[in-house]
Chain A
């Protein structure tokens, strides 16, 4: 038998046993004889066979442990990066990095990677996936899944010596000892496999073709919606109508008494421009109505309380509410260059269209209205009149006017933030001061600089005026 197979590669030697006990004692014999590249094949798990074969404890638990730990770290890093650094988003009012919310994902990823570690680690340690095994060449090995037990010694083992191994295995009580030879069945992939593979590839193209077909053909049928509520979200958009609420508004107003996050800027003084303590002393019911209006977040009521401007302006006999109200006289914000820059920017956006960049009341809207001669047009105020200076028109009153409007001017409370309205107040004060400023106000160090700038500006203005005059004269001559 060995002669006919002499050209084939020998993988090792296997022995067949009929009982677990003979297998186990054989395992112990070859273990004690010093063989290490061994394996046993049984139809069912046999307790203690790892010890009998002298198999070293597996490192799989460590792989599993560190894979799990990796999962924890990846999950926590990902979550902290995503919600704490890269895309900060307030969820349910929690801190950006809030561990309790991160635990479930960290837990899941720990389990997932630990399972992967255990499963694929087992594959790697066992050399899987492996589609064939030289043991299969022996037809007797089929019974390894039924009622026979096999022991295998690999030829790569240092102590392997065909004759010695054969006698050792025969000695352990095996009836059948045989060399495990190279599998000599053909190695080409069988033809039917190609057919099946070809059919599978062809079949997998069919759905793609269907998609393509549907993309290029027209159909009179309505579109098929797989996810109805994703295509037609039941959520309402802003300004939409709903029958769910008595007021038919889909957009819900704030719950009375609540203040939206970031909306509580400071005291009522800051929010209204009114010195509420003084108002309380002067006119307690009105102060209480004002506070109540704020508690209810009722914009209309606030406007009613703060101004009765239209009435008051026409009726000069009785003192206007605007005059009797104790206004805040000092800008509650810290007035610095930053606030001033902000005020200039906001003024440029919201105010200058009517009041002009210089605040003289001749913005583009006013110019256009004058040109068209609208008879309902009330020209915007020129801010450079002494009735609007801070001694007659306190900062709080100016703030209130910006917030609630006056005459044709609408209130800007909805568009401009409280801090920005105060910034505009500060900027308007600076604008007013700019018209009456003297050189004495300039700090000593910067006088020269300002003087030369003013001179240059005056020269430029002069030049422009001269040019305009020349051009006019030239037109005249023509």
Chain B
């Protein structure tokens, strides 16, 4: 029916449908190395704490954690939205997203250090410090209202709820998809599509509130209703990038050689391009209103990110997280070259890490007027990079572990054939 050679549909037990052994053998090095790098990195971060950056240690861990969490949440949303709109094109790459989506479960364990920080008053979230309001001259009545939401028991309860919902969704869609690999029953797809609507709503609410709790409450006096959407925009963008990179790597190692075609890279590329603009749009919407209103309680957050090294980072984000990849991924000719697209995806994954760093780290500064946040010196910079790299290695290692026990493609999905022969106009 087209220019391509007629596709050959392989049997479900074809060897190219499982994780290539060259990648499977990377599991242990990644897991071990990642864990060591993470522990060393966070340890160094605690050593890099100083007068001007008193909450550097836990903040560094939170940065690394939020980075991989957004990757997992983005993957979860990718799976949900494909079911919601009954997408055909994406079936060949959906299992990759599913492998990362299910990592919500181990990430719940990796969240424990953040809960642990609640026991040290004001070492990560300043609202845990009972003297915070009086030390900063805040209105007691207003602070009482704030802390009726921002208090340790309620915070823990909410966090547990988020993980229950995300974990429940991830397990439900993971089971549905992997069971279908064996049974091939169509009803599984119907069931997953049926629940996709409520699942997306639950996802939107929990992700937004998690972003408020774990990102925005670092600056407890600051508020932005756009913040949750901003985190989500970064998450969904980086999830598409992750899927692109992993597809490319898998194909380079011989898996799914004929199933993922240039058409899928083209589509992923379109989404990456679109979500780059979406991220910028959301980021700018948040900034514009705060800039325009110019109220001290709102501008505080951006003010800390307009001076010193973080001021430079803000400009760099505009240029390197938007302008460069925006122009870079605009052309169809680039999107139809898998190697180039994988390169751009890697680039944006690095940018997303910087974005998360830019969100979290300035709040580790000493909260006295005019105190400019810094990188924590050479030690702090190395600690941050080591932590993020270590956490990412751990994340990828866990992903490989999940993938090695399963197929890397939803082999009996009723839309698999549609996806394989899918073509852009």
Contact = CB atoms under 8 A, between A and B. Distances in A.
B288 interface: yes
A25 to B, nearest CB: 12
Contact of A103 (B288, B331, B332, B423): B288
A61 B331 contact: yes
B423 A104 contact: no
B394 to A, nearest CB: 39
A100 B2 contact: no
Interface string B373-409: 0000000000000000000000000000000000000
B284 interface: yes
Given A101-B288, A101-B292, 11 more contacts: A21-B1, A24-B1, A47-B3, A47-B423, A51-B3, A52-B3, A61-B332, A94-B292, A100-B287, A100-B288, A100-B291
A47 B425 contact: yes
Interface of A: 20-21, 24, 45, 47-48, 51-52, 61, 65, 92-94, 100-101, 103-104
B294 interface: yes
Contacts of B288: 100-101, 103-104
Contact of A45 (B284, B294, B332, B425): B425
Contacts of B423: 47-48
A94 B291 CA distance: 10
Contacts of B330: 65
B294 A47 contact: no
Interface in B1-50: 1-4
A52 B287 CA distance: 49
A65 B292 CA distance: 30
A100 B292 contact: yes
10 contacts: A24-B2, A47-B3, A47-B423, A48-B2, A48-B4, A51-B3, A65-B330, A92-B294, A94-B292, A100-B288
Interface string B134-151: 000000000000000000
B292 A92 contact: yes
Nearest to A20: B1
A47 B2 contact: yes
Contacts of A94: 292
Interface in B263-317: 284, 287-288, 291-292, 294
A20 B425 CA distance: 15
Contacts of B284: 100, 103
A144 B165 CA distance: 52
A94 B299 CA distance: 14
Interface in B324-351: 330-332
Contacts of A24: 1-2
A51 B423 CA distance: 13
4 nearest interchain CB pairs? A48-B2, A48-B3, A47-B423, A47-B2
Contacts of A52: 3
Q: What bracket does the count of chain B residues touching chain A fall in?
A: 10 to 19
B336 to A, nearest CB: 11
Nearest to B4: A48
Q: Majority SS of interface residues in chain B?
A: loop
Contacts of A51: 3
Interface of B: 1-4, 284, 287-288, 291-292, 294, 330-332, 423, 425
A100 B288 CA distance: 6
Contacts of B292: 92, 94, 100-101
A93 B3 contact: no
A93 B294 contact: yes
Contacts of B3: 47-48, 51-52
A52 B2 CA distance: 9
A21 B423 CA distance: 16
A155 B284 CA distance: 55
The CB with the most chain A CB atoms within 10 A, among B4, B287, B291, is that of B291
Contacts of B294: 92-93
A93 B292 CA distance: 9
A353 B330 CA distance: 73
Contacts of B291: 100
A219 to B, nearest CB: 46
Nearest to A93: B294
A218 B291 CA distance: 53
Contact of A47 (B1, B287, B331, B332): B1
Contacts of B332: 61
Contacts of A92: 292, 294
A51 B331 CA distance: 19
Nearest to A101: B292
B403 to A, nearest CB: 32
B425 to A, nearest CB: 6
Contacts of A20: 1
The CB with the most chain A CB atoms within 10 A, among B3, B294, B423, is that of B3
A242 B294 CA distance: 29
A123 B326 CA distance: 27
A104 to B, nearest CB: 7
B215 to A, nearest CB: 23
A430 B163 CA distance: 83
Nearest to A104: B288
Contacts of B1: 20-21, 24, 47-48
Contacts of A93: 294
A51 B292 CA distance: 51
Contacts of A48: 1-4, 423
B424 to A, nearest CB: 8
A358 B284 CA distance: 63
A235 B85 CA distance: 49
Nearest to B332: A61
A92 B294 CA distance: 9
A405 to B, nearest CB: 39
Contacts of A101: 288, 292
A93 B3 CA distance: 61
A92 B288 CA distance: 13
The CB with the most chain B CB atoms within 10 A, among A45, A47, A52, A92, is that of A47
A344 B2 CA distance: 90
A48 B261 CA distance: 15
A45 B284 CA distance: 38
A107 to B, nearest CB: 8
Contacts of A45: 425
Contacts of B331: 61
A407 B2 CA distance: 101
A104 B291 CA distance: 13
Contacts of B287: 100
B132 to A, nearest CB: 28
A65 B331 CA distance: 10
Nearest to B291: A100
Nearest to A21: B1
Contacts of A100: 284, 287-288, 291-292
Nearest to B287: A100
A289 to B, nearest CB: 28
A24 B1 CA distance: 8
A101 B290 CA distance: 12
A79 B257 CA distance: 52
A165 to B, nearest CB: 24
A61 B330 CA distance: 10
B156 to A, nearest CB: 39
Nearest to B327: A65
Nearest to A50: B425
Contacts of A61: 331-332
A47 B331 CA distance: 20
A145 to B, nearest CB: 19
B174 to A, nearest CB: 33
A103 B287 CA distance: 12
A440 B197 CA distance: 98
A100 B327 CA distance: 21
A21 B1 CA distance: 6
The CB with the most chain A CB atoms within 10 A, among B2, B330, B331, is that of B2
A100 B292 CA distance: 9
B277 to A, nearest CB: 10
Nearest to A28: B3
A70 B332 CA distance: 21
A26 to B, nearest CB: 15
